[in-house]
Amino acid sequence: MKNFISVNDVDNVSKLINDTLEIKKQPLKYRELGKDKTLGLFFFNPSLRTRISTHKAARNLGMDVIVLNADKDNWGLEFEEAAVMNGKKAEHIKEAAAVIGKYFDITGIRSFPTLTEKETDEDDTVIKQFMKYSGKPMISLESATLHPLQSLADMVTIYENWNFNKKPKVVLTWAPHIKPIPHSVANSFSEWANKIECEFVITHPKGLELNSLYTGNAKVVYEQDKALKDADFVYVKNWSLYNDYGKFYNGGYDWMIDKKKLELTNNAKIMHCLPVRRNVELSDYALDSENSIVIKEAENRVFAAQAVLKNILDDLNG
Amino acid sequence: MKNFISVNDVDNVSKLINDTLEIKKQPLKYRELGKDKTLGLFFFNPSLRTRISTHKAARNLGMDVIVLNADKDNWGLEFEEAAVMNGKKAEHIKEAAAVIGKYFDITGIRSFPTLTEKETDEDDTVIKQFMKYSGKPMISLESATLHPLQSLADMVTIYENWNFNKKPKVVLTWAPHIKPIPHSVANSFSEWANKIECEFVITHPKGLELNSLYTGNAKVVYEQDKALKDADFVYVKNWSLYNDYGKFYNGGYDWMIDKKKLELTNNAKIMHCLPVRRNVELSDYALDSENSIVIKEAENRVFAAQAVLKNILDDLNG
Amino acid sequence: MKNFISVNDVDNVSKLINDTLEIKKQPLKYRELGKDKTLGLFFFNPSLRTRISTHKAARNLGMDVIVLNADKDNWGLEFEEAAVMNGKKAEHIKEAAAVIGKYFDITGIRSFPTLTEKETDEDDTVIKQFMKYSGKPMISLESATLHPLQSLADMVTIYENWNFNKKPKVVLTWAPHIKPIPHSVANSFSEWANKIECEFVITHPKGLELNSLYTGNAKVVYEQDKALKDADFVYVKNWSLYNDYGKFYNGGYDWMIDKKKLELTNNAKIMHCLPVRRNVELSDYALDSENSIVIKEAENRVFAAQAVLKNILDDLNG
C-alpha cells in the first residue's frame, strides 16, 4: 500500500481485515519492521482515540512517533497556486509538504471539513496536497470526507462478532445530535461496508442523503423501524445535511436507538465510533447492554492502524 | 500496588521510601521491567515537574509514554449517571475510561479542584471514576484533594537528609500567597507525614484548618514561632480556606519564612514543592541558603514516580 | 562543546560542518552515543522545523526526548534578582533552571525577542539565565538574537552545493514582508558566514543595518542589483528595523527576489530558512527553480542538530 486515505487505496479489503485480526493475536510480532522509521502525526483538529491508537500502533511496529498539534491559526497554510502571500497564511503547502517528506517516512494528517465550503471540503485539499508535494506515504487520521482508520476498525469488529453462517445485515442509522457533525465517518463506513460481504442498509430521515460517491448502490430506507428489522449490526451515527451543505438537521429526535428499537433487530450488535452522547444518540440501555461493541471498536483502532502501517512499511522496505 | 491515588494505597510506606532510595542509586537497574507496557499521562491542568519526572521515570523502566493535554474545554466529560448529554459535555466517563483502559497499561491523571464546589472536589470524581471504569491501574498526578507523588518524594527527601539518631521534628507551615491555592499538597504531606517516624506539627493562622480526614492526629499549633522551635524540617506551603471553602485568606503576610524564623529552628532543612513565589512564601535568604533542599525534592520526583510505577508493574507482571 | 547558543561556542566551525556532512552519510552510525540520555525541548514560541528536526536528531543518536510547549502565559518566569513575586510570574529562573538541570542531560530552549525591549532582547536573558542556573548543556532553538542550528544547516548546505574551485560569493539580501520579523536568522547567518571561506556581502535598504556585533566586517552594499552581481548563493530574509528597534520597514517592495534579479547572479543557488511568503519575499519562479535549495536546508537541519548534540554528548561522556 502506498497511501491510506480511502478504501480505494486498498487492493484487497478482506486481506487487510485478516491482517488486522492476525496482528491482534500477536501485536508485537513485527516489532522490528518499523525500526529506524519515523511516523509524523499532524493534528489540525483535536483527537483522542485516533491519536493514541495510531501512536501505539506505530510503537508496536518499532517506529518512532513525533506528534504535532498544528493549530490552523498557528500554521496557516496557503493552497492556492501563484498566491501572493501577503495575508494570514504563513507557509505554502509546497514547502510545508516537501519538508514533511524529508523528516518523516510516513505522515498522518487530520483535517476536518469546514462544513461551510462544500467544494473545498469535497476536494479534501489538505491531505491530497500534502500527498502530492511530500512524495512520501500519507495516511488519513480523518479528512474532510473520510475516516478510513475508523472504518477498517469497524469492519474488523464486524468480522470478529459474526460467525458467517450467513451474510450479516448491517444497518447504518442516522441518529440525532445537538450540532452539525461532519459526514466523514458515515461516508467512510458506507464505502467500506460496500466492499465486504453483507447486506448493507442506510436509514435516515428524508433530506439527509449522503454523497452517493461514497454510498454507491447501498440500499436506503427512510423508515428506521423497517430498516432495523432483522439487523445483525446497527451502526449509529449523526451527520449534518449534505444537500443543504453542513446545516444542522433540527429534528429526528425520535431516531435515538433505544431498547424498543433494538427489539426489532436480530439481537443486533450495537456500534458507534465514539465519542457518543448518551441518551441523545443512543440510550443508556443500548450502550450498557451486552450487545454493545463500541469499546471493542475503539480497541481495534490500534490493530487496524497497525495493519495499515505494516502494509505501507512492507511496501517501503520493498 | 494496584493504584496510587493516596497513601492508603501503599501497604508499607517505609518500604516504598526505601525502594525509592534504592532506585536512586541505580535508576536504570529495572530498565527491562516495563518493556512493551505503555503509560498514558492525561493532564486536565498544566504541569511541569510532574509531567517531566513521571515521563522520565517511566522511560527509566523501559515503558513507552503517551502524553495528552486534555483541556477540560476540549474534552468535556460527563460524570452523571443517566445524563441526557445534550449540553457541552461530549463524552461520558464510562466510554472515556473504558477506552483508556484498552490503550494503556497504567494511566496517570491530573485534575485540580474547582475550589468552588466542595463536595465535588472532596469526592475526587475524575480520578475515582476513571479508576472505576477503566479497569486498569491509575496513578494520581495530583487530584482535587491529594498529590501523593509529591508527598512520596518529600518523605524520601526527609529520609535522605536525616541521620535518625532521634525522630525529626517536621513542621508544615502555612505561608502567604497572592491567590487561592488547592489543599492537595498540604493534605497529602500531612497524610504521609502521619505514616513516618517523626514529630509532625502543622502551623497556620486560626481559620485555616485543613480537612481532618488528612491531618488526622497531627498536632496543630497556631503560633508559628512556637511551632518552628527546634524544627528539623520546615515544609512551607500556602493553601486557601477549607472551612469557607476555596476562599483566599487575605492576611498572614508575616508568616513568610525568613532568616529570623529559621533561627528559631534546629538548623532546619527548608522544603517546598515548587513553584515558589520568592519573597512572598519564602525569602531569598531561605531559598538560597545551604539548608534549602527544594531542588532535591524536585529531583527525587523522578525516583518516587519510578518506585510507584515499579510496584504497579511488579503487580501487573504477577 | 559545552553549549550551543552562538557560533562562538564552536571551536572549529569547519570541523563541525564536516561532522554534519559525515553524519548525513550515515545518520544512525552513533545511535548508541546518547543511550540513557534525555534531551528536553522547551518552546516558549511556536516551532515546526526546529522542533521536528531536533527531535529526530536526538533519536538518531539514541537519546530520549521530552518536549514542552511552555507558553509564556502559563509559565511566567521571573528573572529579576530579589524580586518580590506577588505578580503574574509564578516561578523564578533560579528554581526553574535548577530543576531542569536535574531532569535533562541537555536542554534546548526557544525564546523569541519582544521586538519592543531592545536591551532585554540583546541580553538574551531567557537562554543565558537557564544556562547559568541549570548547570547543564544548553542549546538554542532560536533565541532573541540568534538561531545557530539554522545557520549551521545553512553553512552545510552551502558546502554541499559548492565545488570550491574558488571562494563562493554569498549574498544575504533583505526581502520585503508584511510584519516586523526578528533579526535572529540574519544575525546568525552573518556570524557564521564570517567564519567560513567565502566573499560575504549583505544588502538591504539604507536604515535596515543589522547589529554590527554579528555582522562584523561583512561588506554592506545598499544597491541590491550591485550586490547580487556574480553571486553564487543568495540567502533571502526579512528583518525589522534594528536602529528604530523592532519597527516594521514599510517599503522595499521591489526587493523581492525574482527571475530578473537572479539573472544578475552567477546562476546562484537560492536559500531561505522557511517558512517563506511566496510572491512577497521570493517569486514562484525563484522558489520553483532548480536553483532553489530551500528544502535541502530544511533537510540538513536534522544533521546539523545531530552534529551539535553529538559534540555535546562526546564532551559529557568525557
pTM score? 0.97
Mean pLDDT of B218-245: 98
Are C192 and C13 in contact, with CB atoms under 8 Å apart? yes
Q: How confident is the model at residue C52 (pLDDT cuts 50, 70, 90)?
A: very high
Judge: B275–C103 Cβ closer than 8 Å, yes or no: no
Closest residue by Cα to residue A237 from A291, A190, A284, A198: A190
Q: What mean pLDDT comes out for the span C207-211?
A: 98
Please tell me the least confidently modeled range out of B22-36, B58-72, C138-152, C236-250: B58-72
Residue among B49, B280, B302 whose CB faces C85 most closely = B280
Lowest mean pLDDT among A73-77, A145-149, B128-132, C194-198: A73-77
Confidence bin at B49 (pLDDT 50/70/90): very high
pLDDT, residue C165, reads 87
How many beta-carbon pairs below 8 A join chains A and B? 67
Q: Check C48 against A38: CB less than 8 A apart.
A: no
The yes-or-no verdict on residue C19 having pLDDT over 70 is: yes
Identify all chain B residues contacting C66, using CB atoms and an 8 Å cutoff.
52, 55-56
* Residue linked to cell 554528548: C313
Q: How confident is the model at residue C164, as a pLDDT? A: 78
Give the mean pLDDT of A194-216: 98
Q: Where are the domains of chain C?
A: 7-146+301-316, 162-292
For residue A175, pLDDT over 70 is answered with yes
The reply to whether residue C102 touches residue B299, judged by beta carbons under 8 angstroms, is yes
Flag if A90 and C53 touch (Cβ within 8 Å): no
Residues of B whose CB is below 8 A from C85: 277-280
Of B178, B274, B302, the CB nearest to C103: B302
Q: Name the interface residues of B facing C (CB cutoff 8 Å).
A: 28, 46, 48-49, 51-53, 55-56, 59, 178, 274-280, 284, 287-288, 294-295, 298-299, 302
What is the dotted CATH code of the domain comprising B162-292? 3.40.50.1370
Is CATH 3.40.50.1370 correct for C7-146+301-316? yes
**Closest Cβ opposite residue A91 in set C53, C275, C279:** C275
What confidence score (pLDDT) does residue C73 get?
59
Q: Give me the residue label for grid cell 528559631.
A: B264
Predicted local distance difference test score (pLDDT) of residue A73: 59
The residues of B whose Cβ lies within 8 A of any Cβ of A are 36, 38, 40, 64, 66, 68, 70, 74-75, 78, 82-87, 90-92, 94-96, 98-99, 102-103
Of C52, C178, C280, the CB nearest to A103: C52
Phi, psi of B282 (to 5 degrees): -135, 145
Report the residue of chain A nearest C287, measured CA to CA.
A95
Q: Which of A248, A250, A274, A278 to mutate to test the interface with B (most CBs of B within 10 A)?
A: A278
**Regarding the domain with residue range B7-146+300-316, which homologous superfamily does it belong to in the CATH classification?**
Aspartate/ornithine carbamoyltransferase (3.40.50.1370)
Q: What is the structure's pLDDT at B71?
A: 72
Do the chains contact at A275 and B90, CB–CB below 8 Å?
yes
For chain C, list the contacting chains (3+ Cβ pairs, <8 Å): A, B
